[in-house]
Chain A
């Protein structure tokens, strides 16, 4: 089974790269989907550039939300910030009921069209899973371990950096993975507000009634999301394994 999964993964990656680098070689495959001689391959921009812009937006937003969410998570699990913990928990729960599209839509009028509303919406929406997992990770550190750390004479800061955070790392990484994968999808909607990304391809297809464009945009985004999910899950396993070996 693991061999099979690895082959599938490599095949998906190869397919994605081949399509992004030489889209025209796939033209015969998509041609049956078009009507009245419409172009079978997206021709209003470079697919590779769009994919990279898409990934860039998602990663920028994810980096910002990771910094803020982990910081806040650490803050509310310290004794000085404990007062904010119940409220932040509730807020995370409420926040998760907000559809990402609504967040995006409400941001547009505030900051205008383009990359900015997408970045803000992705940032805000990406905060939640990371924040929640950071809190759970930090709170479920076994009390015995924490006491042992204090007993060894570690300061609160040392304990946080070399005991609590490493123990919480798997969960934090899982949060980052969830938020990245959600954001790859949400970023496509960003194209409705003129952000550069793969959504452009899908929307061009919807507007010109060209199924080939829709399928291309959808497949590339979907493949990217799946590969990203997979790669991060692998990275997580690897980090956890090294952490346990040490």
Chain B
């Protein structure tokens, strides 16, 4: 095969602000719960207060008596669903309770207040069984899943890692933990659902990372044709993976809508409900062993992961996959084992796998650097592989070393004294650290795109419609797709208008796995090329064509990933243990950057979320009740503006013709990968205290 042709960048690569920005800042962009519909019915759910067992009785009489209550749904009277193979979606289908916070009912009322009051008055009686809600490798029977998310091998073995560890001159052997974390997008999961009984149609305004996914999942669960489910989601206030899969909230709203035909059922989740119903990141326990020469060249790399899943539905975070592709080592092993608990269903959260896995792997590398007395930037360069360490495939492009070197230069790394606990300034211990980042370059088949040409008679200005049911979750996807379409058509970007977030236009894959721009952009390019092939350079008003994301045959021949290097300066207060991060820099190599404005936002957004993981985020599971105790944003801390110092990201221009016609790699997740580790590594350099858990709290640094 010859090297594939890439688009010539003209609009691509130029800084463009998000086209919907003015609508958002003036409050006219409608989010899911804001669509004005007549006579809405408000839904408030009834949640299980036991973690395992069953409902034995439900008394709804007091709820029904509340003024304004329209209907009450319970496990006893909800419509039967057509497909009950996915336990997360079998809402109100039986009396079994799989986790605390599971739906056992819902109250519909004319006002949100009446719905909430009604829900408070539903009396549910339970029979509780023994349960376990906290990850504990010693208490449960760990098992190996068939695969880890989405379809990676559970274990990988190359060579004889144990023997190599036995012979290694230097060994790092340590266990790292990361806390349960919840995605917590600013906009809560929200839906408005209308059921039209004539013909049986759902219209769903939803906050989702993929209207096509919502459509197909709802159609499956309710046994309907996809064409009878419309999903509309023009603007989404963040998701971070939690809106990538359908969750039970939409099923509940659909069940409720069938109870009040023709009336819109409105259901925005409360923040508290988001801690049990829409996914989260599993806690992890990661045992990492590195064997190396005195010079720091790895001979063995072992990364064994224990994490949790839910008895309701398996989700196996691919935590150790990070260690499969970043550093060279002849002998290597990775494993994943799960503890099945009576807890809510874990799911995708920004860089599932790579995020927690890089924390352990990159802190372990820092420990190896200390053990070998090798600079941690140099240590990583020494372990740069020639090809993908596990598959042996060459990388389509890989510039980790360049990122490390450029970052070190920008950060002033050469002036660094490696001695820990050696700089006390105004009562704060100061230190710096480095970590690598990596994230696979994904592209999913299954998206389509329509391109339509308009030449209004009056002024003769041409105009292009680009339609694809992609999701813009605040990333700038809509804007970037316009830039791609402009270059693929060879037209001015201002003549292109992009419609996303609606099943009325061609379907699209989910905004997940940092695959959106690559997958959707490839469909747009395909449509543009078909358009020009059919209509040439002088089309007629109304000409239109549809394209689709082609398969990428090059993925058979090349390993494809984005890489990066992160640097941080950390201060730890000598008396109080408070941690501050005045400076953080990421340098990334992620193919062609299509829009510097939105790309920078993605990189520093990911880094900020990693900073938040390093310092704050911790969903505290109470083993006695099986619920997350700190289930609101007052007690579940995410980084505040005051926690974020001088945060910057830049990139190395990378030409990669193999990934897609734009030459772009996904950038939504790589920023969080390695970000928590770099903070921990810098904190070690500051204090001499090696923290092997995230988050790091004041507790870790107190005498």
Tell whether A pairs with B: no
What is the interface of chain B, defined by CB distance below 8 A to chain A?
A: none
